[in-house]
Chains A and B, each alone.
Chain A
Amino acid sequence: MSMSVTLTVNRVPHTVQLDDPRVTLLDLLRERLDLTGTKKGCDRGQCGACTILLDGRRVNSCLALAISHDGAEIQTIEGLAEGGALHPVQAAFIAHDAFQCGFCTPGQIMSAIGLIDEGQAGEDPERVREGMSGNLCRCGAYRGITEAVIEATRSMAEDAQEKAA
C-alpha cells in the first residue's frame, strides 16, 4: 500500500511517498529529506537528540509516526539561520561553549527554542535546567547550555521589545 504525507519543513512543502507506514518523523527527515541535523541518539524518547518543533511545539521526532502527522509544520536545526545570520540561540550556544562533541546540540537548541517560546522558565537557572531536562548531554556541557539558554532568553526578549517599540 503506498501512501503520501505532505509536510512543511523549514517553510518548504514536501510530499513524500511512503511504501510503509512504519517511518518515524526522525527517519523521514534524515533518510528521505537528507536533513541529518536532527540526530538519532536512543530512538526511544530517552535522550532528546531528535527534538524538533512540530506545529510549533518541541517533541521527540523518534516517537512520532510520519503518516500520523500529514499536513504538519516542522522546524529543524537546518531552518534556523537566516541568510547566514545565526539564530540567537545558536549564537548563544557558541558564545557560552555549550557543547563539546556537538551530537546533542541540534536537539538542545530546538528544545531551548521551544522552552523560550513556552515562556515558563524565564531566566531562572533552576527552571531552565528543569525545562531542558529532556535533553541529555553525554559530554556534560550542562553549565554552558544553561547559561546559553538564559542569555538567549534575555536577548530574544530585548529584540522583541525593540521590534515592538
Chain B
Amino acid sequence: MNRFEYIRPRSVAEAVAAAAIPGSAYLAAGTNLLDLMKIGVARPGRLIDLNHLPGLDAIETLPGGAVRIGAQVRNAELAHDPEFARRFPAVAEALLSGASAQLRNAATVGGNLMQRTRCAWFQDTASACNRREPGTGCDALGGENRMHAVLGWSEHCIATHPSDFCVPLVALDAVVEIEGAGGRRDIPLADFHLLPGTTPERESVLAPGELVIAVRLPAEAAGFAAHARYAKLRERTSYAFAVVSAAAGLRIANGRIVEARLALGGVAAKPWRAEAAEASLAGAAPDADAFRRAAEIAMAEAKPSGDNAFKIELARRIAIRALTQAAAGTPDRLPALPASSFASNAGAPNMGGLHV
C-alpha cells in the first residue's frame, strides 16, 4: 500500500473541498478501496474519510413516499430495515445476496455504487489494462474472460460492473444525489455508470472530487413490492459475485401485467436496464411465453467478448427465472439463500442438501 495523507473532514462541504486536490479519494468502509490499495491498483495520495461526517447515514421516507438513503448507510442496515425491505424487497434480496455478512455490515451505499470491476487483469498491475492505465491495451481481450461483458462492451474494455445492489435499483428508477464544488445535482442511476467506449477509465459521471451523498427511490418503485425478486447465479452457493443476475418487478391486475421492470447484472460495465423487454411485457399475461420473449429481447444485442457466449443464454434464463419468481409473488420472508437457485423456497426443487 502506498503512503497517503489521512484527512477527516467534519462536514460534506469540507469533504468536497478536501477532495478537490488531485490524488484524493473518498474512504467509505474501505472494503474495495483498501483491497485495491494493498495490491497497488489504487494509489491515492490522500484519503478523505467519510465515516465521521454528519447527515449521510439516514434512511428517510420523504413526503409523497420516496425513500432517501444516505451514502454512508451500511448495506446490512438497509437490507434489514423492515420498512425498506417491505417496500423494496428485491433491493433487500440483492443486498443480502452480495458478499458476506461481515462485508455487508461494513460496506456502504456509496461504496457499493462506486466499487470497481473484478476483472482479474485490472487487479494485476503487471497486465495491460486501459481502465487502470489508459492506452496500455486490454489483456482480458485474449485472456481468461469467461466472466466478462456481453452487452455494451468495446474493444477497449470488456469488464463488468460487479454490484448486485445496483441491479434492482436501476430497474426501480433510482436517482443518485451528488454534491460537488459546483453544488448539488441529481443523476438517474441508469445514466450514472458509463459504458467503456474509448475511455474505460471514466467509470461514472462523477467529476473528480464529486461526492455521492444519497440514493433515492421514487414512491412508484414501491408499487412492485408484491411481485419483486432478484435472482443471481454464482459459481458457488454463497459469498461470490454474480456470473449473471436479474431483478424483476411486476404490477399485475386482472391476470395481466400492467407494468414490468427488468434489469440484468454481470453482463455489462453498468447495471443493465432492459426497457424494450419491459415494454414487451406490458399488457401480456404473466406466463412462460411472455417471459421467454422478454428475455430474448433483453439479450437481442448481446455479443460474446471472448469465451463467454454461454453468458448470453444464462442471462436469458436468469431473467426468465426472476420474472417467473416475481409473478409467483414476493415471499413473506426472504429465502434462506437470498436470490439463489438453491434456496428451498425459491421456486426450484429443494437442493438444500447440496451445500451441506
Chain A residues proximal to chain B, CB less than 8 Å: 1, 3, 20-22, 24, 43-45, 48, 51, 54, 57-60, 63-65, 67-69, 111, 114-115, 118, 120, 124, 126-127, 129-131, 133-135, 142-143
Find chain A residues with CB under 8 A from B1 CB. 22
Residue of B38, B101, B103, B336 touching A124 (CB-CB under 8 A) = B336
Cβ B102 vs Cβ A20 within 8 A: no
Question: Once the chains bind, are A59 and B102 in contact (CB under 8 Å)?
Answer: yes
Whether the Cβ atoms of A118 and B101 lie closer than 8 Å is yes
| Nearest chain A residue, comparing its CB with the CB of B335 | A126
- When the two chains form their complex, are residues A60 and B106 in contact, meaning their CB atoms are under 8 A apart? yes
- Complex: A67 Cα to B27 Cα, angstroms: 11
Number of A-B residue pairs at CB separation under 8 A: 99
A30 to B31, CA, bound (A): 20
Interface residues on B, range: 35 or more
SS class, residues of chain B in contact with chain A: loop
What's the least CB distance linking A33 to chain B, in Å?
20
Chain A to chain B contacts (Cβ below 8 Å), 24 pairs: A21-B4, A21-B5, A21-B6, A21-B47, A22-B1, A44-B39, A45-B31, A45-B102, A54-B106, A57-B76, A58-B102, A63-B103, A63-B106, A65-B34, A65-B47, A68-B27, A114-B105, A118-B80, A127-B336, A129-B356, A130-B336, A130-B337, A130-B338, A133-B238
Contact with A along B230-250 (1 / 0, CB 8 A): 000000011100000000000
A69 partner residues in chain B, CB cutoff 8 A: 51
Please report whether the interface of chain A is mostly helix, strand, loop or mixed according to DSSP: mixed
Which residues on the A side are within 8 Å of B308 (C-beta)?
none
Q: Is the CB of A143 within 8 A of B356?
A: yes
Residues of chain B touching chain A, judged by Cβ–Cβ distance below 8 Å, are 1, 3-6, 27, 29-31, 34-35, 38-39, 47, 49, 51, 76, 80, 99-103, 105-106, 237-239, 336-338, 343-344, 352, 355-356
A156 to chain B, nearest CB (A): 18
B30 engages A68 (CB within 8 Å) = yes
